[in-house]
Homo-oligomer: A and B are copies of this chain.
Amino acid sequence: MNKGLLIVVSGASGTGKGTVCDALLKKIPTLAYSISATTRAPRPGEKEGENYYFLSREAFSEMIAQGGFLEYAEVFGNYYGTPLGKIEERRKVGQDVLLEIDVQGALKVMERIPDGVFIFLLPPSLAELERRIRGRGTETEETIAKRLGKAKTEIAVGKKYRYAVVNDQVEQAVNKIEAILTAEHCRADQNSDIFEELGR
């Protein structure tokens, strides 16, 4: 059996990663979702092993020391990380795993798992990106300008990904990602078992 794929969906803030990943998981129920670990406290309604794995700082640090994270980062005093073991478990039995991650995290994953399928979501235009960032309606002009500037910097990094998908209509973006998964499963190196069978 061939190993499952690691599909990394990433993009600047405001490009709709979460919405696209939710729709993708609905459309492809066999896809496993990589759940992050964090040291921050659960918010009301959040469930262990569903939204996050909630760890103590000690447990998190020990997992770092054991190389248990594909990547991790500290944000506002809390740790967030991608547990490697769960991903490898699924891939080993041939299941594809979806990882939704920010741009900085994706770059670290790229170094560790170069055969991952890296997909960068793009906003349809700068005007639309600004509209989406403004749409949250809670931020000052200064914060909005900062967010837009950061998004533009992040978008430039997207050229390093293998794939770039414009998220104009969610359904279309999901269809494109589905085609990417089909194509990646057709990669010759993903079909070594068939080549072996035919080479006998």
Q: Which residues of A contact B (CB under 8 A)?
A: 119-120, 122-123, 125-126, 129, 152, 155-156, 158-166, 175-176, 178-180, 182-184, 186-189, 191-192, 194-195, 197-200
Contacts and interface: CB of A to CB of B under 8 A. Distances in A.
Contacts of A155: 195, 198-199
A122 B126 CA distance: 44
Contacts of A189: 159
B188 A164 contact: yes
13 contacts: A122-B198, A129-B198, A152-B199, A155-B198, A158-B195, A163-B183, A163-B188, A164-B187, A164-B194, A166-B191, A179-B182, A180-B182, A183-B183
Nearest to A180: B183
B164 A191 contact: yes
B199 A187 contact: no
A163 B155 CA distance: 29
Copies in the complex: 2
A92 B186 CA distance: 27
Given A122-B191, A122-B198, 10 more contacts: A122-B194, A122-B195, A126-B198, A155-B195, A155-B198, A159-B195, A162-B187, A163-B188, A164-B188, A180-B183
A183 B165 CA distance: 9
